[in-house]
Structure 1
Amino acid sequence: MIDLDAVTAIDMHTHAEVSERGDHSLSAELDAAAGAYFKTEHRHPTLSQIAAYYRERRMAAVVFTVDAESATGHPPVPNEEVAEAARANPDVLIPFASVDPARGKAGARQVRRLVEEHGVRGFKFHPNVQAFHPNDRRAYVLYEVMEELGVPAVFHTGQTGIGAGAPGGGGIRLKYSNPMDVDDVAADFPGLTIILAHPSFPWQDEALAVATHKPKVYIDLSGWSPKYFPPQLVQYANSLLKDKVLFGSDYPMISPDRWLADFAKLPIKDEVRPKILKENAARLLGLTRD
């Protein structure tokens, strides 16, 4: 269990890009494109290195892989390895998992097993890389189990650095990441907690509309330096969505150090900053007693 008094922030969005065995979660082409897009080098820490990195900073981190094997042909970092790393580092790591929607009913059984047997606390979807619309009814068997078990679902929204700049974007299609597709999921599964990941360019207003309209939809601020946040996102984070906006970095593609330094320069109200950095996440993850 995370000691909330011992951590200064909860990073809701970090990636397990490489396993302890050295296997990568992305193909070489997509990995290189992401590195060039984010201008990052040496961004392949193992899970044990991620734990040490966040412990040094007195932060906790939600960590996950992305299972897009049906669309890419590339196997992910195993969910079980992420869960095992979190068990070994319970003071800093919070395990989420990823199940390819193409796995159907077998995927739904995997969701249940990962929660009940491995202690997974939530699930990550990347519609662009997984090549599916979130409101595709084939994915609903996964959401049904997540809603039943009370674990949140994170959906990548907006443009992605995965494949950016590669010929044809590496085959990655942006159409899958419109947050309005997730609005259908929120309507059809009202008990499911949903996190819209990232400022949702070019659909920022759509994301704000969904989050204000659906009670259990949150927004994480990962993937962008805060200095590039659209003004309406800052306005809503300071007001209507002050209890539903979450700190996330997208580490190792963006470091929490860089994110927090730029966040400190935003005109965020003093009473709202701790909500975004820790309190909202703690409540969403069930880390508080209230």
Structure 2
Amino acid sequence: MADDKSGATSPSPPTDRVVSIVEMLVALDGPATSADLADALGLSRSTVGSILSALRERGWVRRLADLTYAPGPALAGVAEKARGKLPVPDGLTGRIEDLAARVGCGAALSLVEDGRLVFVAMTEGLGHIPAGIEVGLRLPMQAPGGAAVVAVSDRALQQRWLDTVPADRRAQLTRSLAQIAEDGVGVWGADAADIDRIDVLAQVVSHLSADPASQRLRDSVQAIITDTSGHLYDRATLASDRHLPISYLSAPVFDSAGEPLWELQIGPLRSAVSVGEREHYVREITSTARELSAWDA
């Protein structure tokens, strides 16, 4: 009998347990006890203890003097090799850091793979990344997430994406996809009050990451942020003289075969953005997306 208390089904629960423990140790700001990990993940303490012992034998985790656990040196080596094998554009880190500096806010790039958006790069220390995003975060391709890539993908993918929302929202989202495909960018807004909420909630997510027992609460807060992230502006509204609240912008990035493989994002998270500033954001993210798309794999 599986001892996963979450009730989730999986093709390989034992594998899920190992992966979950490693992911949590890497995500935490400090070491954790076996009991902390077990409680946070809804696993029995004996199972977590056995897994940690096996991981320690391989050097994937290390046990400290106070009997807490932290990522081990072998895991660092695997991670470094894996990073070098990821399908990412050449010069990615420098380009998104330059973009973040020019727009004055965080930037991130996600890879579209197996029906998910997997964040593979982000800037640090300059504003907030949209929706509390961190490297390694996997989000399902559910509307409105991933709209920039979906807009330039085939009709079958677009329909699967549209099917993730109620029928009464699909016509508007279809128009939104057409606009993104033509303009090469989507500009997302929210109520000014929601911008402030996103900002505060993103800080809560960051704070909760230091506590292994808070994983479920952290996931719940993350879901609230995603639900609050806003709506796509139409061209007429973007061109108006009004100051608008802007949560984030997204643009597709193509591989050398012309396939949309990544989504580039910047996250101003500002409650009042002038038309000139909006145009600046659009110019910068679209030019960077074109530069990344010009990479020859």
TM-score by length of 2: 0.30
Structure whose CA Rg is larger: 2
Higher helix proportion: 2
TM-score by length of 1: 0.31
